[in-house]
Each structure stands twice: as structure tokens, then as C-alpha cells.
Amino acid sequence: MDDRYLWDGTGPVDPEVVRLENELGRFRHGRRPLRLPAPRHRFLRPVLAAAAVVLAATAVAWVARSGTAPRWRVESLQGTPVVGSKPVTQVMTLSVGQRVETDGSSRAKLGIGRIAEISVGPNSRVRLLRSQPVEQRLALDRGAISAKISAPPRLFFIQTPSALAVDLGCAYTLAVDDSGDGILRVETGWVSFEREHRESIVPAGAVCATRQGGPGTPYYEDAAPEFRRALESLDFGGGGGAALSTILTAARKRDSLTLWHLLARTQGADRERVRERLARLVPPPPGVTRERVLRGEDHALELWRWELEGMPLLPKDGTFRSFWRRVWFRLAGA
């Protein structure tokens, strides 16, 4: 068979092919090729970005001058909570230094603009310590709250008697008993639980307890019971090497959250044991050597943290970031 006609039109003519060509030829596209739009000038992108910055700054200045900076409001969800000694019967403004208290049959809601909503449970006391464009700080003296925050990281703070909850953009619950002991549960996002130089980064689905000495080590609620009991003993009961052995044996890959925190909370041979177990569960990235980890180098530990499931890439503080926090807060709150 000679099929050159199919390829280049040479060779013997195949009548059947000619018939098909004639039949299909009426569907031939006869329009001109589409014209692609001319490429935009690259310099427009930075110009537009600069214009957005100027526009946002202008809006912030306008908001600040208009005196419409966001303010905390409080309202009753159930029963009759009080602000100071005044019953909350309608929406009220909460000023710095004032406190909201609920009894066994009342609940309250605190809010500021469209960026924060805090539900205060029964038998609770919450105080407003500071309200500024780049810092909103409350104190939970006792009781329980449920917080939903839509704000840049490290703008909202909840002080408890034993630890500071630093919002990283999330929803969480926080409970404190009369002795000052507390428990933090994160539903979405992340919370940093801090006291002095001790920090526990708690992602969604994780829990962290706190005692008078500060926050414990975070863990996921679906961890094995023996894992949780050993961690409680290690953090607050002086469990020592026996408790650590149970933790390392029962740890899953998901429990690398806990092991990573223990790297900074152990020394010597115990730190080496934690490092070995964590490396088997989540191999460290290039450059994070055994020697650097055992020395406790912050940068090496931070790089390893980024490899863990559910852990955030936390932004660093800086002038431009601080500026945008002010811009965002003013606009969203107003």
C-alpha cells in the first residue's frame, strides 16, 4: 500500500481520502489567527504596589483622625454579667482597666471591630489590660473563654496567672481554675503559650497545660493515654528518665510536635535520646546536624520545626510588618 498521499500529497491519489477531504473541507477554519494582547510593562506592578501602600496609609490616617479607632464592646449572652458593678443589660463599651464578671448562670461576649470575638463562660473574670493598634491584651483571672481571632500574628494576648497566650491567627479555648492552673485547646490556627523564656507553640488539634511554673509541653489530644500521662509526669511531676522513656516509646510521627519541644527542655544524654527518636520520625533538613541540635542552636531547631506537621512558618518582627499590623487593625476594626 502506498500512503504517501496521506503525508505530503504525492503518490497515487486515493479516491476515498479525496472524498473525505472534500466533505470535511467545509468546516475548515478561515479566520485570522487570534491576536495576543501586548505584554504589560513590568514597571506597573511595583507602581501599583506602592500606590496600594499610600492608599492604605491614607486610610489609616483618616480613620485615626476621625476618632473611629476600634473599641471593645461587651454584651450579655445569658443571664446578667457585670462590668465592674454595673449589670450588662445592653451592649456596653469596655475600657482599659475594667473587668467583666459572670456568675454560675451568666455568659458574656466581648468583641472589637470585625477582628475578635471572645465568649466568656460562667464563673469567669476577664479584664482589659491594654488596647492599642498593635497590641490588645486581656487577662483571664479565672473561668473559661472561647476566642475567635482574625488578625495578624502577635496582636492579641490573653494573660493567665501562669502563662501568656499569644494569638497567631486562630480559634481556641482557654480555661483557668482558682489556683491559676490552666489548659489551652486550639481549634484552628496556632497559639504560642509563653512565660519568660519558655514557649510552647500549639497548633490546631493540640493541647497545652499550664501550672504556676509556666506552660507544659504541647501534645495532640489523640496521643496514646500512656504518652499523655508520662508527659504530665515529666512536665509537672518530676517523672525524669522513666517518663521520658515512655514518651519516646509511644511517640508517633504526629507526636513529633512534643518531641521537638523536648529538644529544648532536655540536656545531655536525654536530649540525644529525643533527637534520635525525632530524627527517625521526621528526618531533619539538610544542615541541621546532630552537633547543632545538641548545642541547642535556635536556628537549627527552627529549621527542623518547619518540617513538622501542622507547624507554622512564623513571621519575624520588623518595621514593615509592624506598619502593616497598624494598617490592617485600623481598617478592619473601624
| Joined grid coordinates for residue 121 | 463562660
Q: What is the pLDDT of residue 35?
A: 58
Where do the structural domains in the chain lie, given as residue ranges?
73-221, 223-334
* Burial of 77 (C-beta count, 10 Å sphere; 0-12/13-18/19+): middle
* Cα distance between residue 130 and residue 149, in whole Å: 17
Per residue in 153-206, pLDDT tens? 889 999 999 999 999 888 999 999 999 999 999 999 999 999 988 999 999 999
| Joined grid coordinates for residue 76 | 450579655
Q: What is the pLDDT of residue 320?
A: 42
Q: By C-alpha distance, which of 203, 211, 256, 206 is closest to 234?
A: 211
Distances (CA, A) of 241 to 209, 244, 245, 300: 21, 5, 6, 25
What stretches in the chain show pLDDT beneath 70? Answer: 1-11, 25-69, 312-334
Q: Is 306 helix (H, G, I), strand (E, B) or coil?
A: coil
Paired strand residues for 2: none
* Cα distance between residue 150 and residue 170, in whole Å: 7
Q: By C-alpha distance, which of 167, 115, 190, 178 is closest to 144?
A: 178
Q: What is the pLDDT of residue 333?
A: 46
Q: What is the pLDDT of residue 14?
A: 72
> Computed over its alpha carbons, how large is the radius of gyration of the chain?
30
Paired strand residues for 300: none
Q: What is the pLDDT of residue 253?
A: 96
* Cα distance between residue 56 and residue 113, in whole Å: 18
Q: What is the pLDDT of residue 66?
A: 39
Q: What is the pLDDT of residue 13?
A: 73
C-alpha 212 chain-centroid distance:
25
Looking at domain 73-221, which of 3.30.70.980, 3.40.30.10, 2.60.120.1440, 3.40.50.300 is its CATH number?
2.60.120.1440
* Cα distance between residue 257 and residue 220, in whole Å: 8
* Cα distance between residue 123 and residue 130, in whole Å: 23
